[in-house]
């Protein structure tokens, strides 16, 4: 039994906590330590690049500029968070409706048609999740002082739990 995966998970959690505390330089050190242990760890690679970008942008801005940028960024953050929340709520509602319709078709005895619809919606949910992750990375690039993904962790965790539940319900239809 290897302790390495548990150690890496603990280090990633520590780096995230440091990032949330805006201790970006310390978070970067932790991500770099992870990469020394496991050079191809995707999460550490992505997060270390994100933290480097934040540190670079912060270094370029003067204190006055930083205060103005932080205020603008906070407004943009609130706007983007609301857009994301609304988008995820709409998407969850549509997916939930589709899953109910497919289950209804299945229960009515038209199993072959239900399985076809199920396979399409399974693929659509997986593709949607990938597109969502890419979009979040793009949005995160708009921010210097805030980590959009971490600041919206509650929305993302809720989406992940919803996605997993819908996938589970769809896979039950066999």
Q: What is the pLDDT of residue 152?
A: 86
Look at 35-44, 47-56, 65-74, 162-171 and tell me which has the smallest mean pLDDT: 65-74
Query: Which pair of tokens denotes residue 88?
Result: 């995820």
- In this structure, are residues 75 and 146 in contact, taking their beta carbons and an 8 Å threshold? no
Mean pLDDT of the chain, nearest integer = 88
Whether residues 119 and 166 share a domain: the answer is yes
Whether residues 54 and 67 share a domain: the answer is no
State whether residue 51 is helix, strand or coil.
helix
Whether residues 47 and 122 share a domain: the answer is no
Whether residues 2 and 18 share a domain: the answer is yes
Q: How far apart are CA 11 and CA 9, in angstroms?
A: 5
Whether residues 49 and 78 share a domain: the answer is no
Whether residues 75 and 37 share a domain: the answer is no
Q: Is the pLDDT of residue 2 over 70?
A: no
Could you tell me what percent of the chain has a pLDDT over 90?
52
- How many other CB atoms are there within 10 angstroms of residue 51's CB atom? 24
Q: pLDDT tens across 79-128, in order?
A: 999 999 999 999 999 999 999 999 999 999 998 999 999 999 999 999 99
Find, among 35, 56, 40, the residue nearest to 144 by Cα: 56
Query: How many residues does the structure list for the chain?
Result: 174
Whether residues 29 and 92 share a domain: the answer is no
- In this structure, are residues 32 and 48 in contact, taking their beta carbons and an 8 Å threshold? yes
For 120, residues 6+ apart whose C-beta sits below 8 A from its C-beta are none
Whether residues 51 and 133 share a domain: the answer is no
Host domain of residue 99 = 62-174
Phi, psi (5° rounding) for residue 70? Answer: -60, -40
Whether residues 104 and 136 share a domain: the answer is yes
For 145, residues 6+ apart whose C-beta sits below 8 A from its C-beta are 22, 54, 58, 66, 69, 70, 73
- In this structure, are residues 67 and 160 in contact, taking their beta carbons and an 8 Å threshold? no
Write the CA distances from 107 to 58, 104, 116, 121, integer angstroms. Answer: 57, 5, 14, 17
Residue 30 pLDDT grade (very low, low, confident, very high; cuts 50, 70, 90): very high
Whether residues 68 and 52 share a domain: the answer is no
Task: For residues 18-44, give the mean pLDDT.
Answer: 91
Q: What is the pLDDT of residue 3?
A: 64
Task: For residues 25-54, give the mean pLDDT.
Answer: 92
pTM of the complete model: 0.63
In the chain, the N- to C-terminal Cα span, in Å, equals 36
Whether residues 131 and 46 share a domain: the answer is no
Domain count, the chain: 2
Q: Is the pLDDT of residue 58 over 90?
A: no
């Amino acid at each position: 039994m290897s302790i390495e995966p548990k150690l890496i998970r603990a280090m990633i959690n520590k780096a995230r906590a440091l990032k949330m505390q805006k201790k970006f330089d310390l978070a970067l050190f932790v991500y770099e330590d992870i990469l020394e242990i496991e050079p191809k760890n995707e999460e550490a690679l992505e997060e270390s690049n994100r933290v480097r970008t934040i540190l670079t942008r912060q270094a370029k801005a003067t204190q006055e500029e930083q205060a103005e940028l932080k205020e603008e960024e906070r407004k943009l953050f609130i706007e983007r968070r609301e857009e994301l929340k609304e988008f995820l709520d709409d998407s969850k509602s549509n997916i939930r409706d589709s899953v109910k319709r497919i289950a209804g078709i299945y229960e009515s005895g038209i199993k072959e048609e239900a399985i076809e619809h199920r396979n399409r919606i399974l693929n659509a949910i997986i593709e949607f999740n990938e597109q969502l992750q890419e979009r979040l990375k793009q949005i995160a690039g708009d921010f210097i002082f805030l980590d959009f993904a971490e600041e919206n962790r509650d929305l993302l965790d809720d989406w992940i739990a919803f996605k997993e539940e819908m996938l589970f319900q769809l896979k039950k239809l066999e």
